[in-house]
Chains A and B, each alone.
Chain A
Amino acid sequence: MTTTIERTGKQLIAHFCGRLDTAAAIQTTEDVKPLLEAEKTEIILDCSQLDYISSSGLRIFLAIRKEAAAKANKVLVKNINNEIRQVFVMTGFISLFEIE
């Protein structure tokens, strides 16, 4: 699992690649810290290469969203595959995130 952060103008884009499971969550939590510290930024979580998300992964997404809401940043989840979309539905988080 790798996470790379890219800044373009007022956007911070996190590219997730691999399986965001419990084992990967500790490193990913470290990797996404720039997103938590961002101000006046649109945060994009690019999931085009994310194969799987566990509860630990969901918690990381929720933490990013919560921190962004406190700082009036916008969070957009992009390019999630059908399985991950289903996880968002079966946990009830589908209405919480802006998903494209």
Chain B
Amino acid sequence: MSESLDFHCQMILDEYRQSLPQLEKLRQLVVKTLYEALQRNGIIVTTIESRIKTEISLTGKLVLKGNKYASLNDITDILGTRIVTFYTDDVDRIAAMAEQIFDIDWDNSVDKRRLHQLDSFGYNSLHYICRLKQDDCDEQLRNIPFELQLRTTLQHAWAAINHDIGYKTGVEIPQEYMRQMNRLAGMLEMADDEFSRIRTEINDYRRRVQQLVQNGKLDDVQLDGDTFHSYLEAKPLEQLTKRIAAINQAEIQEVSLMPYLPVFKAFGCKTLGDVNKIIKNYADNAYRLARHQLGNTDIDIISSALGLQNICIVCILQQGGGRIGLRRFYDAINGESMQNEMLADITFKQAQQLPFMN
């Protein structure tokens, strides 16, 4: 028996010990429910943490305010879970998600973000006291409350450091240092808002680019990694690749076409319109090159990059890039190697037998 606890608190401690298997079962079920819901909603988070309060910690709490609790289930953080998000917007999204998947005890839940006065900064986190829904578990588990804390990575860092500073020494922190910590909280709040704003603007930009690609206004879209990716999602090379595959009834193996972005930049393309023009102008001769190379073989597997690869080869040759241009191209897509010179030679000789080179 813990010497510092009265009889009432000792009863609660005994109840805790007996409930440990149930608490562990609840912990696993809560974490699983959260994981599944986050996955369904497509929300990526930094971490999901969970813990059952230790006996030492519970004893400390009972010593301080044990008479406040009639039974173990009145202590709402015996099981604690915490989700740390990248963005402040995601805290609200996950809160809405939690309201759907759990029953929330609104009287005991608190949004610490809203507790601050206009001119104060400090601990920011959303604390929900939850219970599992009736359909998700038996009555015994449903009666046990648990705490769900939601905060951003920056809020988490601040809270962790604040906790470390505040509790490590056991000495009360002077007002001056408290003010410095709160000043940092204000700065991190601004940083959180900025990260969210930047994410929103990038997503808006992506949507605008996708819209332009869909509407065929490619000359208005600057060429970069994001826009090239959006352009490729419209599958501008599908027809050519299928046409090449039909030469030997070949299977098409999907691969990324992103390694070709630097090649198009080296061609001087500034917009997706420039890329699209090259693809349209050289697609027929790219097919002829593939027919010439594959037609006399029994190869029945090709990469989905073959059409684009041949377009680049034909573009280089028709613009007079010759062997050196081909060598640079192979260096770009395959890494620099002496053997690329030999490949450039072979490709050049093969292409010379085709009408577009004469």
Contact = CB atoms under 8 A, between A and B. Distances in A.
Contact of A86 (B300, B302, B309, B346): B346
Interface stretch (A2-10, A28-36, A41-49, A51-59): A51-59
A87 interface: yes
Interface stretch (B56-64, B98-106, B291-299): B291-299
Interface in B332-358: 333-335, 337, 339, 342-343, 346-347
A58 B334 CA distance: 17
Q: Which of B260, B305, B307, B334 has the most CB of A within 10 A?
A: B334
Q: Which of A54, A96, A100 has the most CB of B within 10 A?
A: A96
Interface residues of A, number: 20
B342 A82 contact: yes
B304 A55 contact: no
B97 interface: no
Interface in A39-90: 54-55, 58-59, 62, 82, 85-87, 89-90
Nearest to B241: A92
A86 B342 CA distance: 10
B146 interface: no
B253 interface: yes
B305 A85 contact: no
Contacts of B307: 92
Q: Which of B259, B304, B333 has the most CB of A within 10 A?
A: B333
Contacts of A62: 253, 301
Contacts of B196: none
Contacts of B290: 90
Contacts of B294: 90-91
Given A92-B307, A95-B259, 6 more contacts: A55-B301, A90-B290, A92-B302, A95-B303, A95-B333, A96-B305
In the A-B complex, list the 8 residue pairs whose CB atoms are closest, starting with the nearest.
A92-B306, A92-B303, A95-B333, A90-B293, A92-B305, A55-B301, A93-B303, A55-B300
Interface of B: 250, 253, 255, 259-260, 290, 293-294, 297-307, 309, 330, 333-335, 337, 339, 342-343, 346-347
26 contacts: A54-B298, A55-B299, A62-B253, A82-B343, A86-B346, A89-B330, A89-B347, A90-B290, A90-B293, A90-B294, A90-B299, A91-B301, A92-B255, A92-B302, A92-B306, A92-B307, A93-B253, A94-B309, A94-B330, A95-B255, A95-B260, A95-B303, A96-B255, A98-B335, A99-B334, A100-B337
